[in-house]
Structure 1
Amino acid sequence: MPEMHFTVRWPDGGESRCYSPSLVIQDHLTSGQRYPLADFLKRTHDALSIASERVRAKYGFACSRAMDQWAEIESNAQPFLSQPGAEVEVLSLDA
């Protein structure tokens, strides 16, 4: 199963390199695009859930690494949830 990484910039300027076990992330995020925080969280949660289910369909078990990545994204977003207009920028999608 082809995996990919995506790099994002948080509202405070910090960057994170994130993992997806599937190319499905490309269907949910666009390199160079800025997303309102809530939208970014929904998109990444949806994509990583789909990716994990694709792993389950192929190998018989969900992808714990995808769910760990989601937990990390959710944790990184916490400080910005109360910040009006907070956006996350997708810097790159790398297969």
Structure 2
Amino acid sequence: MPETYFRVSWPDGTTQRCYSPSLIVEEFFEAGQAYSVGEFVERSTTALGIASDRVRERYGFPCSQAAAQLVEIRGKAGKYGDSGAEVIVEGFER
């Protein structure tokens, strides 16, 4: 499975390198695009869920790294609530 990383910039100016076991995240995010924190979490949840399911189909178990990445994303996003803040997807790395 071709794993990929997506770099994001949070509203507080910090950057994060996020992991996905599949290229599917590139179908849910566009490099340079800003997303509301809520939309970013929603898209991440869907994309990482699909990625984890692909690992399960291939290896017989879900991807624990994808689940852990989602926990990190949700934790960071929780700091912003419904503030209207945005996350910028800076790009992808393989």
Report the TM-score range of the alignment, normalised by the length of the smaller protein.
Answer: over 0.9
Aligned to 2:37: 37
Separation in 2 of the partners of 1:43 and 1:94? Answer: 18
Question: Following superposition, which runs of at least 4 residues in structure 1 exceed 2 angstroms of deviation?
Answer: none
Unaligned runs of 5+ in 2: none
CA deviations on 1:37-56 (whole Å, 9 max, x unpaired) are: 11111000100000000000
* Count, aligned residues: 94
| TM-superposition CA deviations, 1:17-58 (whole Å, max 9, x none) | 000000000010111000011111100010000000000000
Aligned to 1:93: 92
Give 2:36's aligned amino acid: P
Within-5 A mapping of 1:65-84: 65-83=65-83
Matched, 1:17 2:17: yes
Matches of 1:2 and 1:87 in 2, distance apart?
28
TM-score normalised per structure 2: 0.97
Aligned-partner Cα distance in 2 for 1:79–1:68:
18
For 2:81 and 2:90, the matched residues in 1 are separated by 20
Structure 1 unmatched ranges of 5 or more: none
TM-score between both structures, scaled by the size of structure 1: 0.96
CA RMSD of aligned residues (A): 0.7
SS of the aligned residue for 1:80 comes to: coil
Aligned match of 2:64:
64
Amino acid at match of 1:33: Q
